[in-house]
Structure formats: structure tokens, C-alpha cells
Amino acid sequence: MLKQLATSLTLLSLSLPALAEVQIKAVEEIVVMAIDGQEIRQHLFSNKEKTYTVDDGQHTISVQYKQLFNPLYTSHEVVKSDIVTLTTGHLTAGQYQLVLINPPQDVDAAKKFAEQPILGLKDAQGHIIAQQIDVGSKAKSWLNRGIFSSVLDLRQDSEQQPEVNAQQATIPVQQVKTDTLSKDQQLIELWKTATPQERQKFTAWLGEQAVK
């Protein structure tokens, strides 16, 4: 009996930190550029849904709407908006999700939507608790995008943050081994190890660079 009680208390203590966190997820079409002015670096092959951990309280989230159409075909198009900022209310521990309000279903609708993207923040019950509908002045360019984890901890704990940054900067062993190779050889190695979904995203990214 005592052993079972001790086990239950241990499991409860392990679950408490997770319950006390404010976690914000973003759907695939929303790229989080910064939270409270802190730049979020993006992986070229980022996951469809990203998770960010922040402190309790009010936050400003700078995002960009970006959507790829016809990814499986030779001809594809990337539609994206200017950076917009959403200001939340006082967030308490729990899970929240950044979503598009009335998301477009085709490329023509997406282009119109990108002119004035409407996004919102949902709570765990699916209620919209914050919404942004205005495109403000163009934000500064967010440079130096690197390889970061898709789960980012942006809490202000002075002891915890360096540890998280170290975790974010972790690079797969196989990639480290290619550091001594030429740039084109590195790209070939990355392509060989990429999943079909990652290759699609990379192909779309190349197409986007060509039209810049």
C-alpha cells in the first residue's frame, strides 16, 4: 500500500511542471517569427505544428501567414503575408493554439487572405481568446534562421534558458560529420537523409527563392 502511494506521489510530482506551463502551438500555415521581441529561428524542414513554452502573463506574438499550394506537382506556389502581431490577454497554465480564422481553401483566396490575414489564439476548450485582423507596418527582417528544435522554451528562468538553448542547437550526428565536406556535398547528404515531406518543402523553398 505504501509503495503504491509513493509511486502515485512520484508520478504526480513529475506531472506538475507540465501542468504549470503555458504552451502555445501554431498550425502549419502560421510561422512564429518572434515572441515578446525574441526572435524564433526556423528549421528549413520544420514540423507541421510547433510548440512554444512561455511564462504566465501577457505576450506579443509576431507571426507570418505562409502556405504552399500544389506541393506534389512541378508547378507550385507559396503565398505569404507581411508579419503581423497578436497581443494576448493574461495567459495562465495550459495549452493554447494559434489558428487562422476562416482559412483560405485555394491559391486565389490565399492571396487575398495574405493581404489582411486574420488569426486567433484558442484556449484548451477551443474558444478564441485573442484575435488579430490588422496588418501593421512591415516588421524588421528576421535573419539568421538556423536549425532549432520545434519545441521552444521562452520562459524567463535564468538557469533554465541556457539549457534550452543548448538543446535547440543540437545538430544530428550525421550532419556534424559532413561539416568537413563541401557545401554541395553537404546538401547532397541532407537530401539523401530527408523524408519525402522534407524534400517537398525544400523544393518549394527553392522555387520561392527563384522568384525573389
> Per residue in 42-94, pLDDT tens?
665 555 568 899 999 999 999 999 998 876 666 678 899 999 999 999 999 99
What pLDDT was estimated at residue 92? 93
* Helices (H), ranges, 55-194: 107-115, 160-168, 173-177, 183-193
Mind giving me the DSSP string for 84-122? EEEE---B-SEEEEEEESS--SSHHHHHHHHHS--EEEE
Q: Give 137's pLDDT tier (boundaries 50, 70, 90).
A: very low
Q: Do residue 196 and residue 119 come from a single domain?
A: no
**All residues at 6 or more sequence positions from 111 whose CB lies less than 8 Å from its CB, including other chains:** 79
In angstroms, how far is the first alpha carbon of the chain from the final one?
67
pLDDT of 201: 75
How far is 108 from 68, CA to CA, in rounded Å? 12
**Residue 119 and residue 60 share a domain:** yes
Evaluate whether residue 14 is within a structural domain: no
Instruction: Answer whether residue 96 is part of any domain.
Output: yes
Decide if 151 contacts 53 (C-beta within 8 A): yes
pLDDT in tens, 143-182: 333 333 334 555 555 444 444 343 443 334 444 343 445 6
156 within a domain of the structure (yes/no): no
What confidence score (pLDDT) does residue 157 get? Answer: 53
Whether the predicted pLDDT of 34 surpasses 80? yes
Using CA atoms, how far apart are residues 28 and 64, in angstroms rounded to an integer? 11
127 and 188 in one domain? no
Look up the domain containing 192 and give its range: 181-211
Distances (CA, A) of 36 to 19, 50, 180: 22, 17, 37
> In the prediction, which pLDDT does 142 show?
38
Helix (H, G, I), strand (E, B) or coil at 168: helix
